[in-house]
Amino acid sequence: MDSHGQVEQRVVWAVVDSGIGPLLLAATREGLVNVVFHATDAVRDRAVERLASRLGTEPAEAPGSALLAEAIRQVEAYFAGERRDFDLPLDWSLISGFNREVLRELSSGVPYGTVVGYGDLAGRVGQPGAAQAVGTAMGANPLPVVVPCHRVVESGGGIGGFGGGLETKRKLLALEGVLPEPLF
């Protein structure tokens, strides 16, 4: 508690290796709040600054934190091919409105090894004409991989865009058996 008797927001983070490069994982007492691709020093520093600004507290590097332990274990198991689903508490505080609604539907309704079109996902949340807005929601996803925006593709068969880069999206889809493994 702080000096005013309020519960302090605590944010902890760690960088973990994955099959797609270093990932920054950040958590609060509510759950996993952020996953950041390509977490080199510069990317990591910007992500931590953004979290501090958005959540109102300075995130602490704490790879051994109990708040992160299960998330790290599950992410490592996913990339080792030993886990298909994430069963983690999630802190949705970095996203709201339509974007949150779409990401919650994606998280619960598009299983490992499957894909969904942007328009189809829009229809699932009652907005059948909002395919472009679904694309925006995917780009705003604060929890990629765990909330699997890589599973959202163009209805015509194209791979679509991806905040982590198209090569990263291809690797994630290959890991899940949707695409063949990249040759190199």
Domain 97-176 fold: Arc Repressor Mutant, subunit A (1.10.10)
With contact defined as beta carbons under 8 Å apart, do 152 and 138 qualify? yes
Mean of the per-residue pLDDT values of the chain: 92
Give the confidence band of 3 by pLDDT, cuts at 50, 70, 90: very low
β-pair type (116-117, 23-27): unpaired
Q: What is the pLDDT of residues 114-162, one digit of tens each?
A: 999 999 999 999 999 999 999 999 999 999 999 999 999 998 888 998 9
Residues labelled as active-site residues: 149
Q: Hey, which residues does 105 pair with through a beta bridge? A: none
% of the chain at pLDDT higher than 90: 88
pTM, whole model, 2 decimals?
0.91
Rounded to 5 degrees, φ, ψ at 107 are -60, -40
Q: 176 vs 158, which has greater pLDDT?
A: 176
Residues of the chain with CATH 1.10.10.10: 97-176
Please tell me the predicted confidence (pLDDT) of residue 98.
97
Look at residue 30 and tell me whether its pLDDT is greater than 70: yes
Give the confidence band of 6 by pLDDT, cuts at 50, 70, 90: very low
Look at residue 2 and tell me whether its pLDDT is greater than 80: no
Mean pLDDT confidence for 63-87: 96
Instruction: Specify whether the backbone of 140 is left (phi greater than 0), alpha (psi in -120 to 50) or beta.
Output: alpha
Q: What is the pLDDT of residues 87-111, one digit of tens each?
A: 999 999 999 999 999 999 999 999 9
What is the layout of strands, in order, in the sheet containing 60-61?
32-36, 23-27, 12-16, 60-61
Please tell me the predicted confidence (pLDDT) of residue 179.
86
User: Which of 86, 63, 58 lies closest to 16 in space, CA to CA?
Assistant: 63
SS3 sequence of 79-148: HCCCCCCCCCCECCCCCCHHHHHHHHHHHHHCCCCCCEEHHHHHHHCCCCCCHHHHHHHHHCCCCCCCCC
